[in-house]
Amino acid sequence: MNPTTSQYADVILPLPVAGYFTYNVPDELSGQVIPGSRVIVQFGVKKFYSALVHEIHDRKPEGYNTKPIECIIDVNPIIPVACFPFWEWIAGYYHCTIGEVLKAALPSGLKLESETRINYNSDYTEQSEKKLTPREQLLFDVIREKRSLSISELNNSVLKKSSIAVVKDLLGKGAVSIEEEMKESYRLKTESVIELPERLRTEKAMNLALDLLKKIPLQQKLVISYLELSGILKNGTEISVTKKELLQSTGISVTVLNGLVKKNILSIIERKIDRLSTYSGEIKEVSELSPAQTDALNQIKQSFESKSVTLLHGVTSSGKTEIYIKLIKECLDEGKQVLYLLPEIGLTTQIISRLTRVFGDKAGIYHSKFNDSERVEIWNKVLNFGIKNTGSSSESDYQLIVGTRSALFLPFQNLGLIVVDEEHDNSYKQYDPSPRYHARDAAIILGHLQQAPVLLGTATPAVETFYNATSGKFGLATLNERHQNIEMPEIVTADFKDAYRRKQMNSHLTPLLFAEISGALERKEQVILFQNRRGFSPFIECKMCGWVPKCTHCDVSLTFHKHNNSLVCHYCGFSTNHPGTCRTCGSKELTNKGFGTEKVEEDLQVIFPDAKIDRMDLDTTRSKRGFEKIVLRFEQREIDILIGTQMVTKGLDFENVSIVGILNADNLLNQPDFRAYERSYQLMAQVGGRSGRKNKRGKVIIQTSEPTHPIILNVINNDYEAMYRGQIAERKHFKYPPFYRMIGITLKHREKNELDRIAQELSTKLRERFGARILGPEYPVISRIKTMYIKQLWIKIEREISVVHAKRQMQEIIDQIKLHAGNKTILIAIDVDPI
C-alpha cells in the first residue's frame, strides 16, 4: 500500500478551543517536528498561529484533510513531554481546555500568540547563490523597515496568505530570525551586607580604630560584634554578615551603624539575593536539628516510605523550614529537582535568603511579579537542568525552585520532592482566569506523576488536609514545640463591646490592648496589629438621611481612603473624590463608618505620637518591592507598630515582636461561608504565632464581643484539634468537603432579568439530573461586579460518585442552555473545589 507512513502532529493552540488539532508533517520537515516544541500552523481561513506540538503519530484523522505544519520555531523542545500528563490532569479535573492550561503554564515570553516575532537579521548580506525572489524581497523589505514583525502583523501583511511560506524561505536564507519578545530590564533584589574597608583589615589598624571609638561605646560594641560574627581578624575565613543579622544580634539601633558608615569604619554594600545572578556569598552548613526536629524529620522519612503525601503539622516557629532544608539537601545531593511552594510572593524573599545561604546558585525564585524575559530565563534554567545529560546544562541552572502557585508549571522532569509550605493558605487557589486550580492539590498530582513525595507543612492545616492525614490517606508528622523552647504566646481576650459601653475605648483599643502596646513600646519591643479591612472606613453615611455612596459598577459601598480623599470600590477599582456633601439631601454631615487599616494607623499615631508606625496592606505593597521593603524595615526595627491585613498573618519570621493585637475578631467570625470558623482560627493562630522571643513569652490580645466563642477558646488554648473536631462534625452534618465534592457555577450577565431567567432555567435542568445536590441559584454577598450581575449555583457530589461523569453531565446541560438563541451573552464559569 503506502510505502512511507505519513506523519501527523497533534498540536495545542493558544485558543479557548477544546482538545488537540491534527496537522500533517510535510516531507521536508520530517523528523524535525518534536513534541514540546513550537511550530507555526494555519487555523481558520487566513490566520496563522504558533502552536505547541503535543504528539507525533501516524494515525490519519477521519473525515477531513489535514493542513501541513508551516514551519518550525524551536529546534529543541521548550517543554519536556513529561509535563503533558500534568497539563491534561489540570484540564480534566478543573474542567477547562488544554489551551487554557497552556496559557497559564507558559511565561508570556514563550506564549504562542502573536508575540512570536520575525526579526530582521542585520548581519544579513545577500549572497548571489541565495538571491531573494521578488516575493521574498517584498516581505524582507517590510520586515527590514519595521525591524520586526509579529505573527499577527504577518497575517495582515502585504502578502497575506502565502507570507508564512515566504518567511520560511527567508529563514532558510538567514535573512530573518524568529525570536521571542523580551521586555523591560529587571532590577535585582538585594540585601545589605556589612563590609570592612581594606585599610582596617590588620589588627593594628583595627585596634587604633577601636581606641578612637572609646567614647562612643555603642559604636565600639557594634564593631566588635561585627568582627566576631564575621571572623575577619581570626583565621582568614570570612563570613559575610548582613545588616539585619548584625543589628538583630546586638540589639543596637541602625543610627549607630550609620554613624560608623559615615566615619568609614564599616561600609554597607547591596548584594543581589535573587537567583538570576551568581551567588557570591559562601555556602553555610545546614543547621543542626533539635531532638524534636530530628524526630519530626524521621517521622516524615518513615512516612515517605509508604505514603506519597505527608503533612508536617508543626506549631509556628517550630523550625519547619529547617526540616525542609534537610530534606531538600538530601534530594539535591541525589541529583533531583525540588519545588518549594509558598502562597505569597512576599514570603519568597525571607525564605530564599535562607535557602541560598545553604544551596547557593542551585536555588531560584519564580512568581508572577517577574517580567517576561526573567520568566523565560528561569524557565530555561529549570529546563536545562532537567536535560543535564545532553550537555547543554551549566552550573547556574536551577535545581531548586521557590515559587508561588504558577511555579507548578515549570518544566520539571526529575522532581524528587515537593514542599507546599503554609498549605492551608487560600492564596494557593487561582480564582480567575481558568484553570481555577488549587496549587496544593495540583502539587499532589504533580508529585504522583513524577514519583516525588509531597510534603505539606503548616501550623494550622486545612480541615480537608487534616482529615486526609488522620484517616490514613496522607502520612502525618507532628512537631509540638517551638525552636529553643520559646513558649507559645499567651492569648487573652478583651471585650470591646463592654469597653464601649463603659466609654473606656481609646479609639480602637480596649484598655488592655492599649496598656500592652504602651508596655511593649517602653521595652523597645515591636507590635503587630491585625485588622482585616484596608482603607480608612468601609463606607461613609449621611447623618441626616442615611445616604451611602455606592459603586456605579458594583453592588457595594465605596471605601473611603483618606490619604487621597477618595472613595474607592475594592471590587472593580472605581475611584471618585469624596463628595463633601450628601448627594441626596445636601447635608454636610457625612460620617465615617467602621474602620480600616488606614484609620487605625492615623488614630494610633495620635495615641502614640513617638512610635514609628507603618501599615502593610494592598495599598502599601502594590509596587514590585513594596511588601519586601516593609518586611525589611520591620526586621531592622525601623518600625515599632505594624498594622496590617491578612498579609501580616503569613509565615513571616520576626524576632522582636512581643505583642500581637487582633482589633476585631467578630469581623472574621461573622462571614457567611462554611469555612469562616476554620479561617478565623487559622488567621488568629497564625498572626498570634508572630509573637514571642527568646527568653520571653509573647502575648496576643484578641478584641471581640464574644470572648467565649468556641473558636476563640480554641485559639486561646492553642487547640487546633478541638477546632478541627468541631468543624469536621459540621462538614459531615451539612454535607460539605471533605465528605462531598463541590463544583461552583457562576453566571454573569449585564441584565438582571436575563440573569434571573437563565439561572432559573439552568438550575431547573440541573435539578432534573442532580436532584437535591444542587444549591442555589443565589446572589453572592456582592451581587454585581464590574457592571455584571452575578448568580451562583453549587453541586455537591458524594465522594463515591464519579466526578468525571458528573462534570460531563453538567457541561452537557450548560451547553444546551447556551445554545438557546436568547442565551448567547451569558457568561458561565465553572469552579471545581471552590474555596
Q: Which three cell numbers stand for residue 149?
A: 514583525
For the bound state, the minimum distance from the C-beta of residue 421 to ligand ADP, rounded and expressed in Å, comes to 7
Cα dihedral angle (25, 30, 32, 35), rounded to 10 degrees? Answer: 50
Q: Which is nearer to ligand ADP, 180 or 245 (CB)?
A: 245
Give the x/- contact pattern for ligand ADP in 806-825, rule: CB under 6 A.
--------------------
- The neighbour count for residue 679, using CB atoms within 10 Å, is 20
Give the x/- contact pattern for ligand ADP in 238-277, rule: CB under 6 A.
----------------------------------------
Q: Which of ligand ADP, Zn ion, none does residue 293 bind to, with CB < 5 to 8 Å depending on kind? A: ligand ADP
d(CA 204, CA 697): 44
Q: Which is nearer to ligand ADP, 171 or 286 (CB)?
A: 286
Q: Which of Zn ion, ligand ADP, none does residue 542 bind to, with CB < 5 to 8 Å depending on kind? A: Zn ion
For the bound state, the minimum distance from the C-beta of residue 294 to ligand ADP, rounded and expressed in Å, comes to 9
For the bound state, the minimum distance from the C-beta of residue 321 to ligand ADP, rounded and expressed in Å, comes to 3
Residue 322 near ligand ADP by CB under 6 A = yes
For the bound state, the minimum distance from the C-beta of residue 479 to ligand ADP, rounded and expressed in Å, comes to 7
CB 98 within 8 A of CB 91: yes
**For ligand ADP, which residue of 275, 375, 429, 483 counts as binding (CB under 6 A)?**
483
**3-state DSSP call for residue 367?**
coil
- Bridge partners, residue 745, by sequence: 793, 830
Q: Which is nearer to Zn ion, 124 or 571 (CB)?
A: 571
Q: Which residue is nearest to ligand ADP (CB)?
A: 319
For the bound state, the minimum distance from the C-beta of residue 193 to ligand ADP, rounded and expressed in Å, comes to 18
For the bound state, the minimum distance from the C-beta of residue 584 to Zn ion, rounded and expressed in Å, comes to 5
Q: Which of Zn ion, ligand ADP, none does residue 289 bind to, with CB < 5 to 8 Å depending on kind? A: ligand ADP
CB 526 within 8 A of CB 507: no
For the bound state, the minimum distance from the C-beta of residue 550 to Zn ion, rounded and expressed in Å, comes to 9
Residue 510 near ligand ADP by CB under 6 A = no
CB contact set of 734 (below 8 Å; sequence gap of 6+): 674
Residue 423 near ligand ADP by CB under 6 A = no
HSE-CB at 114 with a 13 A cutoff on CA atoms is: 10
Q: Which is nearer to ligand ADP, 176 or 297 (CB)?
A: 297
Give the x/- contact pattern for ligand ADP in 442-481, rule: CB under 6 A.
----------------------------------------
For the bound state, the minimum distance from the C-beta of residue 668 to Zn ion, rounded and expressed in Å, comes to 24
Q: Which of Zn ion, ligand ADP, none does residue 353 bind to, with CB < 5 to 8 Å depending on kind? A: none
**3-state DSSP call for residue 481?**
coil
Q: Which is nearer to ligand ADP, 483 or 599 (CB)?
A: 483
Q: What is the 3-state secondary structure (H, E, C) of 580-616?
A: CCCCCCCCCCEEEECCCHHHHHHHHHHHCCCCCEEEE
Query: Which letter does DSSP use for residue 509 in this model?
Result: B
CB contact set of 680 (below 8 Å; sequence gap of 6+): 665, 668, 669, 671, 711
d(CA 353, CA 678): 32
Contacts (CB under 6 A) with ligand ADP, residues 622-681: 651, 653
For the bound state, the minimum distance from the C-beta of residue 557 to Zn ion, rounded and expressed in Å, comes to 10
d(CA 436, CA 426): 12
Query: What b/e string do you get for 299-315 counting C-beta neighbours within 10 Å, with b at 16 or more?
Result: bbbebbeebbbbbbbbb
Q: Which of ligand ADP, Zn ion, none does residue 569 bind to, with CB < 5 to 8 Å depending on kind? A: Zn ion
Question: What sign has the CA pseudo-torsion 49, 55, 60, 61?
Answer: negative
Longest dimension (CA), the chain: 100
Q: Which is nearer to ligand ADP, 362 or 483 (CB)?
A: 483
Tell me which residue of 651, 184, 227 sits closest to 419, measured CA to CA.
651
Contacts (CB under 6 A) with ligand ADP, residues 270-309: 287-290, 293
For the bound state, the minimum distance from the C-beta of residue 331 to ligand ADP, rounded and expressed in Å, comes to 18
Q: Which three cell numbers stand for residue 786?
A: 464590574
CB 41 within 8 A of CB 80: no
Interface with ligand ADP: number of residues (CB under 6 A): 16
Q: Which is nearer to ligand ADP, 322 or 464 (CB)?
A: 322
Q: Which of Zn ion, ligand ADP, none does residue 572 bind to, with CB < 5 to 8 Å depending on kind? A: Zn ion
Q: Which is nearer to Zn ion, 545 or 804 (CB)?
A: 545
Query: What b/e string do you get for 681-693 counting C-beta neighbours within 10 Å, with b at 16 or more?
Result: bbbbbbbbbbbbb
d(CA 503, CA 505): 6
Q: Which is nearer to Zn ion, 484 or 587 (CB)?
A: 587
CA angle 243, 659, 501 (to 5 degrees): 150
For the bound state, the minimum distance from the C-beta of residue 420 to ligand ADP, rounded and expressed in Å, comes to 13
Q: Which three cell numbers stand for residue 273?
A: 539575593
Q: Which is nearer to Zn ion, 20 or 571 (CB)?
A: 571
Q: Which is nearer to ligand ADP, 287 or 605 (CB)?
A: 287
For the bound state, the minimum distance from the C-beta of residue 422 to ligand ADP, rounded and expressed in Å, comes to 9
Position of cell 524557565? Answer: 379
d(CA 662, CA 688): 9
Q: Which is nearer to Zn ion, 171 or 572 (CB)?
A: 572
For the bound state, the minimum distance from the C-beta of residue 410 to Zn ion, rounded and expressed in Å, comes to 35
**For ligand ADP, which residue of 242, 321, 646, 714 counts as binding (CB under 6 A)?**
321
For the bound state, the minimum distance from the C-beta of residue 680 to ligand ADP, rounded and expressed in Å, comes to 20
CB 632 within 8 A of CB 576: no
d(CA 160, CA 649): 56
Q: Which is nearer to ligand ADP, 35 or 319 (CB)?
A: 319
564 φ, ψ to 5°? -125, 20
Q: How far is CA 179 from CA 11, 169, 175, 384, 618, in A?
A: 20, 16, 13, 19, 36
Q: Which is nearer to ligand ADP, 411 or 688 (CB)?
A: 688
HSE-CB at 51 with a 13 A cutoff on CA atoms is: 30
For the bound state, the minimum distance from the C-beta of residue 453 to ligand ADP, rounded and expressed in Å, comes to 19
One-letter amino acid for residue 793 of the chain: L
Q: Which of ligand ADP, Zn ion, none does residue 483 bind to, with CB < 5 to 8 Å depending on kind? A: ligand ADP
Q: Which is nearer to Zn ion, 461 or 549 (CB)?
A: 549
| Chain residues in the site for Zn ion (CB under 5 A) | 542, 544-545, 547, 551, 553-554, 569, 571-572, 574, 582, 584-585, 587
Residue 314 near ligand ADP by CB under 6 A = yes
For the bound state, the minimum distance from the C-beta of residue 24 to ligand ADP, rounded and expressed in Å, comes to 54
d(CA 261, CA 778): 63
Please give the helix or strand (H or E) that residue 344 lies within, else none: none
CB 559 within 8 A of CB 578: no
**For ligand ADP, which residue of 240, 317, 399, 559 counts as binding (CB under 6 A)?**
317
Q: Which of Zn ion, ligand ADP, none does residue 388 bind to, with CB < 5 to 8 Å depending on kind? A: none
**3-state DSSP call for residue 370?**
coil
Peptide bond into 435 cis (omega under 30): yes
**For ligand ADP, which residue of 14, 319, 453, 688 counts as binding (CB under 6 A)?**
319
d(CA 426, CA 532): 15
For the bound state, the minimum distance from the C-beta of residue 317 to ligand ADP, rounded and expressed in Å, comes to 4
Q: Which is nearer to Zn ion, 392 or 584 (CB)?
A: 584
Q: Which of ligand ADP, Zn ion, none does residue 554 bind to, with CB < 5 to 8 Å depending on kind? A: Zn ion
d(CA 177, CA 146): 14
Interface residues with ligand ADP (CB under 6 A) are 287-290, 293, 314, 316-322, 483, 651, 653
